[in-house]
Amino acid sequence: MHKINTLSRFALLAALVTFTTCSRNPVTGKREVILMSKEQEIALGQESHPTVVSSMGLYEDKRLQDFINEKGKAMARISHRPDLPYQFYIVDSPVVNAFAVPGGYVYFTRGIMAHFNNEAEFAGVLGHEIGHITARHSARQQSKQLFGTGALVLGSVLFDKTGQLTELASQGLQLALLGYSRAHESESDEIGVEYSSKIGYDAREMADFFGTIKRIQESSGQAVPQFMSTHPDPGNRNKRVLELAQQYQTKNPGSYQVDRDSYLRMIDGIVFGEDPKQGFVENAIFYHPQLKFQFPVPNGWQHQNSPSQFQMAAKDGKSAMILMLAKGNSLDEAAQNTVQQFGLRVLENQRTTINGNPAYVLISQQQPQQGQQQTQSTQNALQIASWLIQYNGTIYALHGLAAAQGFNGPFRTFQQVAGGFRQLTDPDKLNRQPERVRVKNAPRDGTFREVMTALGMPANRLEELGTLNSLRADDRVARGTMVKIITR
């Protein structure tokens, strides 16, 4: 019966794919199966936008926002899909990234804005991101995923009787389709050259920016062999985009702009790196100046901060903690909402006080979702210790997660963290200012290293500053040339 039902579903899926009307891709001109309408793309963008804003925040800078709107609208008009309701945003993240959501939503981080060295580099990446939208890459990925799902259903019939293989394979498929394919990235690079050139910029600068990306990856240990990555290697993209730009300019002779000085003046003062007001870690303590609290970070744990939550985890991956806001106007209500939200089975609960703040402690296990194996061993279950802390009119949730087996060890660490949650009163931490990019004129002729030294920059940040300026230590810099430094 299981095989008959599953095969029937697969047949239905095949019929759906077969009889779906093919549409013509606006960029390639080819007819292809697209299972997402224009209206669905727009709706997806509208639904995704609040999540992006809540998780990353918007960077408030009117000059930069006006700039990205002006260039974005100009590029949208000459794109293959000028009818979409495009919207452009700068998000408050130090990560060097730009991304697009179906329906016309395009986001640049302040981190990538700080690393551009001219308007032409920005325009090339802007064209690349709009290219993902106009070529309908997300819609094409969705269609590919549906085909993949059908194959997995068939695979489960042939190879697995328990359903476990299907679940694992589905997880693998999700990971494989998490980003755009290498073919889509290459296609968007080509579109980026076309779009940025059409609004008057020198697309060869887009090629140079891939050198910056490669340096960032190498310095952070993210470099991977090209054949193992879903994105083409930045070094190879540099060469390919340069060829495309030269071919375009040969066919379309004209004056193509770089606009370096105007761009550098515009980003003068942009926040660089983590913004302390959103929270920062120093000497194994997390401080949040804006919300005025602090708590310890276990020694050696890795951590990541965002406007919506703070995450930290042991290097072995066997235990982790998350700080987030709890939903509710009282501790009792917050406890009930936490149990419902995460599907918890409460083992213990008690009221307490943490450094003068009313608190509620829950020890829980996550219940299997409907349809999952109900015979899961209790020892293999995920166990969670939650401290709900009422502080300054807000209820914060500190969740500690580890396997039920051997939970007592991590629990002691969780207790130390939660027990260290207290008011932040140190003026130095409360008034900590962010680092910013400042644009200066080189005070002398010399190498980049010599110019940075003359501007008071420490030697241990030379590579970071070189990446920021797209210069090497021994590159020559003429007196009066605009360069970027980092200062508070």
Q: Which amino acid is at 462?
A: L
State both tokens at 65: 């926002």
Q: Which of 97-106, 195-204, 225-234, 352-361 has the lowest mean pLDDT?
A: 225-234
Token pair, residue 268, equals 């003068």
Render pLDDT for 244-253 as a digit per residue (tens, 0 to 9). Answer: 999 999 999 9
Question: Looking at the predicted structure, is the pLDDT value of residue 312 above 90?
Answer: yes
Query: What is the residue whose two structure tokens read 């918007």?
Result: 58
Residue 16 — φ and ψ, nearest 5°? -60, -45
Flag whether the pTM goes above 0.75. Answer: yes
Average pLDDT over residues 7-11: 39
Of the chain, the percentage scoring pLDDT greater than 70 comes to 78
Whole-angstrom distance, CA of residue 439 vs CA of residue 445 = 17
CA-wise closest residue to 378 among 394, 362, 367, 389: 367
Residue 287 structure tokens = 């401080």
Residue 31 has a pLDDT of 58
Could you say which DSSP state residue 201 is in?
B
User: So what's the pLDDT on residue 102?
Assistant: 87
> What pLDDT is stored for residue 457 in this prediction?
98
Half-sphere exposure of 184 (CA within 13 A, CB side): 20
**144: part of which helix (H) or strand (E)?**
helix 137-159
* Residue 171: both structure tokens together: 């997880």
What secondary structure letter does DSSP report for 434? P
pLDDT > 70? residue 427? yes
For 57-69, b/e burial (b = at least 16 CB within 10 A) is bebebeebeebbe
Among residues 396, 359, 399, 360, which one has the least CA distance to residue 382? Answer: 399
Torsion of CA 39, 44, 47, 48, to 10 degrees: -150
pLDDT in tens, 142-188: 434 333 333 223 322 322 333 333 333 333 333 333 345 677 788 89
Per-residue pLDDT of 58-83, as tens digits, reads 999 999 999 999 999 999 999 999 99
Domain 276-430, CATH class in plain words: alpha beta
Task: Compute the chain's Rg from CA coordinates.
Answer: 26
Residues in CB range of 118: below 8 A, 6 or more apart: 205, 258, 259, 260, 263, 264
Q: Residue 323 is inside which H or E element, if any?
A: strand 319-325
